[in-house]
A = this chain, B = another copy of it.
Amino acid sequence: MPEEMSKMCDFQLHDEPLPLKQLLEDCKLALKYQVKTGHPHFFNQLSCGLDIISLAGEWLTAAANTNMFTYEIAPVFILMENVVLEKMRNMIGWRTGDSILAPGGSISNLYAFLAARHHKFPQYKEKGLSSIPGHLVMFTSDQCHYSVKSCASVCGLGTDYCICVPSDERGRMIPTELERLVKYHKDRGNVPFFVNATSGTTVLGAFDPLEEIADICQKYDMWMHVDAAWGGGLLFSKKYRHPRLTGVERADSVTWNPHKLMGTLLQCSTVHFKYEGILLNCNAMSAEYLFMTDKIYDPKYDTGDKVIQCGRHNDIFKLWLQWRGKGTSGFERHMDRLMELAEYQVRRIKEQPDKFHLILEPEMVNVSFWYLPKQLRGLPHDAHKEIKLGKVCAKLKGKMMQSGTLMVGYQPDDRRPNFFRSIISSAAVTEKDVDFMLSEMDRLGQDIVVD
A interface list, Cβ under 8 A from B: 1-2, 5-6, 9, 11-18, 20, 22-23, 26-27, 29-31, 33-35, 37-38, 44-45, 47, 50, 53, 55-56, 58-60, 62-67, 71-80, 83-84, 87, 103-107, 110, 114, 124-131, 135, 145-147, 149-150, 152-161, 202-203, 259, 265-267, 283, 285-290, 292, 294-298, 301, 308-314, 317, 320-321, 323-330, 394, 397-398, 401-402, 407, 410-413, 418, 421
Given A47-B67, A154-B308, A311-B106, residue A23 in contact with residue B128 (CB < 8 A): no
Given A62-B59, A83-B12, residue A124 in contact with residue B158 (CB < 8 A): yes
Given A2-B75, A12-B83, residue A289 in contact with residue B129 (CB < 8 A): no
Contact B288 A87 (CB under 8 A): no
Given A11-B320, A13-B84, A321-B26, residue A6 in contact with residue B37 (CB < 8 A): no
Within the assembled complex, what's the spacing in Å between the Cα atoms of A80 and B27?
12
Given A104-B310, A289-B413, A309-B103, residue A72 in contact with residue B401 (CB < 8 A): yes
B contact residues around A154 at 8 Å (CB): 110, 114, 154-155, 308
Contact A324 B55 (CB under 8 A): no
Given A35-B66, A76-B30, A202-B289, residue A327 in contact with residue B16 (CB < 8 A): yes
Q: Which residue, of A74, A149, A289, has the highest number of chain B Cβ atoms within 10 A?
A: A289
Please give me the residue from chain B that is nearest to A317 by CB atom: B30
CB distance from A378 to the nearest CB of B (A): 26
Write 13 A-B pairs (CB below 8 A) sorted by A numbering. Answer: A11-B80, A35-B74, A62-B265, A103-B107, A125-B158, A126-B158, A126-B159, A128-B157, A289-B411, A289-B421, A292-B418, A296-B397, A313-B313
In order of increasing CB-CB distance, the 10 nearest A-B pairs are A156-B156, A128-B158, A289-B411, A103-B103, A296-B398, A146-B287, A58-B62, A17-B327, A146-B285, A129-B129
Contact B45 A67 (CB under 8 A): yes
Contact A64 B30 (CB under 8 A): yes
Please give me the residue from chain B that is nearest to A294 by CB atom: B394
B contact residues around A402 at 8 Å (CB): 296
Identical subunits present: 2
Contact B297 A53 (CB under 8 A): no
CB distance from A69 to the nearest CB of B (A): 9
Report which of B114, B131, B259, B266 forms a contact with A158, defined as CB distance below 8 A. B131
Within the assembled complex, what's the spacing in Å between the Cα atoms of A75 and B62?
23
B contact residues around A311 at 8 Å (CB): 47, 104-106, 259, 266-267
B contact residues around A73 at 8 Å (CB): 35, 37, 44-45, 407
Within the assembled complex, what's the spacing in Å between the Cα atoms of A31 and B323?
18
Within the assembled complex, what's the spacing in Å between the Cα atoms of A266 and B74?
13
Given known contacts A13-B83, A104-B310, A155-B156, what 20 new A-B pairs fall within 8 Å (CB)?
Answer: A6-B79, A13-B328, A17-B326, A17-B330, A20-B325, A29-B76, A30-B60, A35-B72, A37-B64, A37-B65, A65-B266, A104-B311, A107-B309, A128-B160, A130-B135, A203-B289, A266-B313, A288-B413, A294-B394, A296-B402
Report which of B64, B76, B308, B418 forms a contact with A107, defined as CB distance below 8 A. B308
Contact A11 B103 (CB under 8 A): no
Report which of B131, B267, B324 forms a contact with A26, defined as CB distance below 8 A. B324
Contact A104 B401 (CB under 8 A): no
Contact B128 A324 (CB under 8 A): no
Please give me the residue from chain B that is nearest to A263 by CB atom: B65
Contact A37 B66 (CB under 8 A): yes
B contact residues around A103 at 8 Å (CB): 103-104, 107, 309, 313
Contact B135 A76 (CB under 8 A): no
